[in-house]
Amino acid sequence: MLKGFNGTPFPFCKVIFNIGFRTFEAMLKNFLCSVFILYGLCTHAQLISTSGSTKSNSFDTSSTIYVGFGYLNTFRDLVSNTAHLNTPLGERANEISRWLPNYSLRIGIPVMSVFKINGGIEFQQNGESYNWNSTESDSSFAYQTSFRYISMPVHISIGYGNKLRVYGSTGISPGIFSSYVQKQQWQDKDGSDFTDEISIQNDCNSFVISLQADFGIHYSINSNFGIQLTAHYRKQLNNSYKEFEDYIHKAYALGLYTSITYRL
């Protein structure tokens, strides 16, 4: 059984996170199934125009600008750095995920016959949170941590369809460390509230690299503008902390991205 700061039982933190993350994964599976069903229905409808002539689907080979907003459930793999002091995780083992916004500006340029190279810039956030409440008094303690990066994702993408297209991409995202912020809130045994904010940058790695993948649908509003909805997954490959810090921290994120697109 997990313990709080003063040794009180803390059994539900991991359970709540696991249930929440499994629920969200189930929602994503339903979303992807809906994408296939909707795509099948729409492509069938696209085959016949109002004049009775047929329209064929094709691969997307246009140059496109994407302005995106993502809302991601972020968490981390965290282990003790055995090459340093092998510090126990302690209460950090009880951290849970947190939802964070991400923003991107990308351009897709066609290469080869059906693929595009997608590149651009992204404001990327990873993080975790913690919440503890005493069972013996009004004492409580909580924090929300954010690791912020300016990243430059490079993807290979493919799109197939007509007015409605299936879209997929995968690639890497190197990121430059921007800032670390941890917001803390606590209450003492007398019920007095306190807050603090920690911004320490000298223990964070200046560079991270992540694998990314997107899958979803794109709808063309007209000949230039469109909207795209994708499931997004990101997995960090290297440590968020420097070599001789206490822990090895590798973030991951799962969520949805919505993008406004402009065809050049």
The residue ranges of the chain whose pLDDT is under 50 are 1-19, 35, 39, 41-54
What's the pLDDT at 41? 47
Which structural domain, as residue segments, surrounds residue 48? 13-263
Asked if residue 7 is part of any domain, the answer here is no
What number of other Cβ atoms are within 10 A of residue 56's Cβ?
8
| pLDDT tens by residue, 87-119 | 999 999 999 999 999 999 999 999 988 999 999
What's the pLDDT at 84? 86
Asked if residue 4 is part of any domain, the answer here is no
Q: What is the CATH number of the domain that holds 125?
A: 2.40.160.20
CA nearest neighbour of 218 among 42, 22, 7, 16: 42
CA dihedral 76, 81, 86, 89 (to 10 degrees): -10
CA nearest neighbour of 75 among 8, 130, 126: 126
Long-range contact pairs involving 47-56 (C-beta distance under 8 Å, separation at least 24): 55/162, 56/162
Is pTM beyond 0.85? Reply is: no
What's the pLDDT at 33? 57
What number of other Cβ atoms are within 10 A of residue 253's Cβ?
25
Dist CA 187 CA 36 (whole Å): 49
Q: Helix (H, G, I), strand (E, B), or coil: what is residue 5?
A: coil
What's the pLDDT at 31? 53
What's the pLDDT at 51? 44
CA atoms within 13 A on the CB side of 263: 15
Our count of domains for the chain comes to: 1
Asked if residue 5 is part of any domain, the answer here is no
CA nearest neighbour of 176 among 213, 228, 219, 122: 122
| pLDDT tens by residue, 40-76 | 544 444 444 444 444 577 999 999 999 999 999 999 9
